[in-house]
Chain A
């Protein structure tokens, strides 16, 4: 059987509609919301700030600490029990590794930059949405970043490589599904996150990465606009 038409009618290379807003949490040093389809991620950055316990401190540079959490009402079925799970701990780790390469924390020895990612609503692609939100929040916090970080889950549904899997596609029963989340640096043209669940041929990976680059650049445009919009899209409108 062949996956001819996507369950939600999208083109194979089309990500779901996106929305982003920066500076949504006034108390944080930086914050952002990223929405893709029905997945909504909030990210807040606090730091560089004091780090306890002492043994976590690095005397040569600041550390990045990511906390990833789903709100109890964010799952489509049962209530999600609060408190971390092994899954959320692993996602926090790969998120940290996805963001760290663009940051330079050498000005902040012994300090920490805390990133908190929370979800009020999810429909697949949450770790990627979290990374996209976190990248905006880090920029909003005024941290030096070589590039933005944009993330999307590319997938293979049956025989098709598709961009931005939705929940229904992840749960597709009429064929095999592979889920390939990736994070990408749009200007430096590098990947900082790559994971996969499923079975694919090597060729599919190449196609997937190619598609990922294309879609991540689109996501980067959304992130860029949101960052600029916080300041009234720069100073094009020349007031007195």
Chain B
């Protein structure tokens, strides 16, 4: 179905170009705006080129899981709104939204970005749950990277609400922020033919062979991996893609002041 398009994308890549004039490892312009929703405890808008994603944090208090009585946790939910693309349908999150949410979740959870023990209120009884909702506004490719950046920025923007006698006062925000120890950044590297690119356009996403999302923290440690796309990857390719991701992470980090 997309053989013609793929050939044309490859023709361009052979000459070192993408359809919009970028070089293979160039990101489009990244902007991050904080506090875009007053009703959220923390929120952010991330734009990568024309791709736009919002993330909002709402804090709730629940009973901790029985096997982790002294910890709170995070819950990441993503919605690919039909508002943002003619390809998305109304209804509960499809598999693409679920994958996106879970990959973002793992980046934050596995890196121990948030010290869950610091979310505890009363052992075995009450702990904070950090609910992160990722909402797409315009899909111009690379929703994954935009989503993970938005989630991180929303966490950074958050202020804990006041909590007294079992009641959360959402109107009164304390000065306390969510205890963020690490800042995981996700970069998705795409393989088309023999070429590696980052920050794909929708056309490139349609013809990709392989995809590797790499989450890492500032110390260069990798905290999540997700392979996508139908083509198998060799070990060399995987390492090459990780190298590219770790290198690009430095640039992305600047966008959130890291």
Contact = CB atoms under 8 A, between A and B. Distances in A.
Nearest to A26: B50
A76 B171 contact: yes
Contacts of A72: 56, 58, 77, 131, 133, 135
Nearest to A71: B135
Name the 10 nearest CB pairs between A and B, nearest first. A73-B56, A73-B40, A79-B58, A116-B83, A72-B133, A44-B83, A121-B37, A120-B37, A25-B138, A121-B39
Nearest to A46: B86
Interface in A48-102: 49, 67, 69, 71-79, 82-83
B137 interface: yes
Contacts of B137: 24-25, 42
Nearest to B79: A82
Interface string A1-31: 0000000000000000000000011111000
A25 B136 CA distance: 11
Contacts of A38: 38-39
A78 B60 CA distance: 7
Interface string B76-110: 01010111111000101100000000000000000
Interface in B9-35: none
Given A27-B138, A121-B36, 6 more contacts: A24-B137, A25-B84, A27-B50, A73-B56, A79-B60, A120-B56
Interface of A: 24-28, 38, 40, 42, 44, 46, 49, 67, 69, 71-79, 82-83, 114, 116, 118, 120-123
Nearest to A121: B37
A116 B82 contact: yes
B77 A26 contact: no
A23 to B, nearest CB: 11
Contacts of A25: 52, 83-84, 137-138
B83 A78 contact: no
A170 B122 CA distance: 36
A120 B54 contact: yes
A210 to B, nearest CB: 32
B196 interface: no
B140 A67 contact: no
Contacts of B58: 72-73, 78-79
Given A25-B83, A28-B83, A75 B39 contact: yes
B43 interface: yes
B82 A67 contact: yes
A42 B93 CA distance: 20
Contact of B170 (A24, A77, A120): A77
Interface in B25-75: 36-41, 43, 50, 52, 54, 56-58, 60
A74 B39 contact: yes
A71 B54 contact: yes
Contacts of A116: 81-83
Contacts of A82: 77, 79, 92-93, 133
Contacts of A69: 81
B209 interface: no
Contacts of A76: 39, 170-171
A28 B140 CA distance: 11
Nearest to B52: A25
16 contacts: A25-B138, A27-B86, A28-B83, A42-B137, A44-B84, A72-B77, A73-B56, A74-B56, A75-B39, A78-B60, A79-B60, A82-B79, A82-B92, A118-B83, A120-B56, A121-B36
A19 B77 CA distance: 29
A73 B131 CA distance: 9
B19 to A, nearest CB: 15
A82 B75 CA distance: 13
A69 B54 CA distance: 15
A24 B45 CA distance: 13
B199 interface: no
A98 B211 CA distance: 45
